[in-house]
A and B are shown apart, each in its own frame.
Chain A
Amino acid sequence: MAEIVLETQGLTMRFGGVVAANNVDFTLHARELRCLIGPNGAGKSTFFKCVTGLQTPTEGQVFMRGEETTQWMSHEIASLGVGIKTQNPNVLDSLSVFENIWLAARRFHTPIEANHKSQEIIERLALSSIARADLGQLAHGERQRVELGLVAVGDPWLVLLDEPAAGMSAEDVERMTEIIHELNKSAAIVIVEHDMQFIRSIAENVTVFHQGSVLMEDHVDLVMADQTVRNVYLGKKA
């Protein structure tokens, strides 16, 4: 059995009286690719934020490669070798594509190595033609791709992506799928996503969230055929 790279035990997040994530137990193995799905307000993004250190869970524990990271801040989690992409493109708008990726590379490499590494990632992600353009001038899909570059340049062993395909054209989604598959050769990946077509194209296993808890966890085809999941997505009582 492959090593467990991410595990949560009883993860709970409350905002006043609202329980956004409720006693979530989750396990991810090395080089596994798992999609988190569920309707709006199901708790996927809250779970994502708790795991990435953007929020501290009210209860429960988070482990990465066996080390407890529950109270860690996001920079400490990222320093472990965890690549994180948030829901909205979170980039440095007034800097160029190269500068953005260089800064991400510099965290794990010397300046000269960071130059080489950045160039390599820019070529791999087909960003050469826009390498010197400021991020603020790029289209949404290009910005998403650059942010994936920021994630990939650190050679992560765990990648956490929140809606990487949101607002992208079909062509961009196809390119994104290829990149994710390539990343998955060396890293376990968790993807929070709504787009079922995209999910079918990348994932085998999915975890369904509903009302802050895990409703189901299985192969994508079985999950999609499940009547309870269908009802949840259609807004019927589960």
Chain B
Amino acid sequence: MQGSMSKDVMTTLVVSAALIWALPLMVSTYTLTILIIYGMLGLSLGLIWGFGGIICFGQAAYFGLGAYTYAIAAINFGESTIPMLLAVIVPAIFAALLGLMMFYGRLTDVYLGVITLVVMLILFKFINSTAGPQYVIGNARLGGYNGIPGFQTLNVPGDPSAYIWGDAYFYVCAVMLALVFILVSALLRSSFGRIAVGIRENEIRMSLMGYDIRARKTILFSIGAAIAGLAGALFANWSEIVTPSLFSLRQSAEIIIWCIVGGFSNRVGPIFGAAGLAYIKILLGQQSMVDNTLIMGIILVVFVLFLPKGLVPAVAELWNISFGRRKRGASRSGRRVRNRGKANG
């Protein structure tokens, strides 16, 4: 298992390095940066929904919380290191508290979806209504629908005047995504990750095995929120302004669509889904002939109807068929022995 993990890390590093080198030759680093951030956001939902079976319709809440936490802390601290950490911690704690209420309250499936959606809409409403001067945290005015502009962006730790921006910021975001991907891979290979997949498959059976599914779901939900929070902080640095639209229904719906199109139950699907669809949206935004929402809707319908597992699993399946790799379990004799299964994505 340790060998597989090293192989996974090496593959991630090599693929990441190749993409970091090749992609800027085709697309501007400014655009690539936002695609990476969205990829990280997609991965956060893919982790909790695809591997933990937690239906979350409000993942944008943690993205927005991360962005706002960063902006508010950056104004107060005047540098970016502690705000970056807070942007991960605050959404994680918020999700842990929400998770405790939901999972220990024995809410399941669609109710989870509704609650997470409603919480996100409450945050949206709340932030929108904070335009008055009385809504201040330290030196930071929340700004209502105008959002918070003009905060300290990412700097070299310990040196607030050494800003990281432009191409350098793209490399930082790319490395962060690679690191998050490696950490998620390690998590899914661990006992915790395998148990989470078991819970996704059959909660009652896992409970009858003696696992407290409520605690594990809360932890996984919190980890997903932490990743979304990090993506939010990176987004805040990229856009240099945070607005209530980060908590919007549209934002949350897009995250779900990215994951459906890319494929939920694997690690790379949500990243490719997010980056691919966000890039298409950017391209469509440069023309006025067709409404890009319509195109996005058509893409979603096509995928739901014809590739319900998503693009990446479909390509992987096609690869296996084309190159003659036997599907596990197709035959009961001479089956290739593996010590871990698809639980690890």
Instruction: Give chain A's interface residues, CB within 8 Å of chain B.
Output: 52, 54, 73-76, 78-79, 84-86, 90-96, 98-99, 102-104, 106-108, 111, 115, 129-130, 132-134, 137, 150, 154
Q: Are A95 and B201 in contact (CB under 8 A)?
A: yes
Instruction: State A132–B342 Cα separation when bound (angstroms).
Output: 12
Q: Are B338 and A132 in contact (CB under 8 A)?
A: yes
> In whole Å, how far is B147's beta carbon from the nearest beta carbon of chain A?
43
Residues facing A in B71-113 (CB within 8 A) are none
A-B contact pairs, 11 of them (CB 8 A): A73-B207, A90-B204, A90-B205, A93-B201, A95-B197, A99-B343, A103-B195, A115-B339, A132-B329, A132-B338, A133-B329
Q: Which of B42-50, B210-218, B290-298 contacts A (4 or more CB under 8 A)?
A: B210-218
Instruction: Determine if B341 is an interface residue (Cβ-Cβ < 8 Å).
Output: yes
Instruction: State A75–B343 Cα separation when bound (angstroms).
Output: 22
Instruction: Give chain B's interface residues, CB within 8 Å of chain A.
Output: 1, 191, 194-195, 197-198, 201-202, 204-213, 328-329, 332-333, 335-343
Pick the 7 closest A-B CB pairs, nearest first.
A78-B210, A92-B201, A133-B329, A79-B210, A107-B210, A75-B207, A134-B329
Instruction: State A99–B343 Cα separation when bound (angstroms).
Output: 9
Starting from the known contacts A93-B201, A130-B332, 12 additional A-B residue pairs (CB-CB under 8 Å) come to A73-B207, A74-B208, A75-B207, A76-B212, A85-B208, A90-B202, A92-B198, A94-B201, A104-B209, A107-B210, A132-B328, A133-B335
Instruction: State A5–B336 Cα separation when bound (angstroms).
Output: 43
Instruction: State A98–B339 Cα separation when bound (angstroms).
Output: 8
List of A residues within 8 angstroms of B208 by Cβ: 52, 74-75, 78, 84-86, 90, 150
Given the interface contacts A75-B210, A96-B341, A103-B209, does A132 sit within 8 Å of B336 by beta carbon? yes
List of B residues within 8 angstroms of A137 by Cβ: 329
> In whole Å, how far is B46's beta carbon from the nearest beta carbon of chain A?
17
Q: Are A133 and B332 in contact (CB under 8 A)?
A: yes
Instruction: State A106–B329 Cα separation when bound (angstroms).
Output: 23
- Contact partner of A129 among B201, B213, B333, CB < 8 A? B333
Instruction: State A108–B209 Cα separation when bound (angstroms).
Output: 9
Instruction: State A39–B272 Cα separation when bound (angstroms).
Output: 56
Instruction: State A215–B206 Cα separation when bound (angstroms).
Output: 34
Which single residue of chain A is at the shortest CB-CB distance from B212?
Answer: A75
Which single residue of chain A is at the shortest CB-CB distance from B215?
Answer: A75
> In whole Å, how far is A131's beta carbon from the nearest beta carbon of chain B?
8
- Contact partner of B195 among A52, A91, A106, CB < 8 A? A106
Instruction: State A19–B126 Cα separation when bound (angstroms).
Output: 49
> In whole Å, how far is A151's beta carbon from the nearest beta carbon of chain B?
9
Which single residue of chain A is at the shortest CB-CB distance from B335?
Answer: A132
> In whole Å, how far is B266's beta carbon from the nearest beta carbon of chain A?
13
Q: Are A78 and B207 in contact (CB under 8 A)?
A: yes
Instruction: State A95–B202 Cα separation when bound (angstroms).
Output: 11
Given the interface contacts A75-B210, A132-B337, does A106 sit within 8 Å of B201 by beta carbon? no
Instruction: State A86–B328 Cα separation when bound (angstroms).
Output: 27
List of B residues within 8 angstroms of A85 by Cβ: 208
> In whole Å, how far is B204's beta carbon from the nearest beta carbon of chain A?
6
Instruction: Name which of B191, B207, B332, B342 has the most chain A CB atoms within 10 A of its CB.
Output: B207
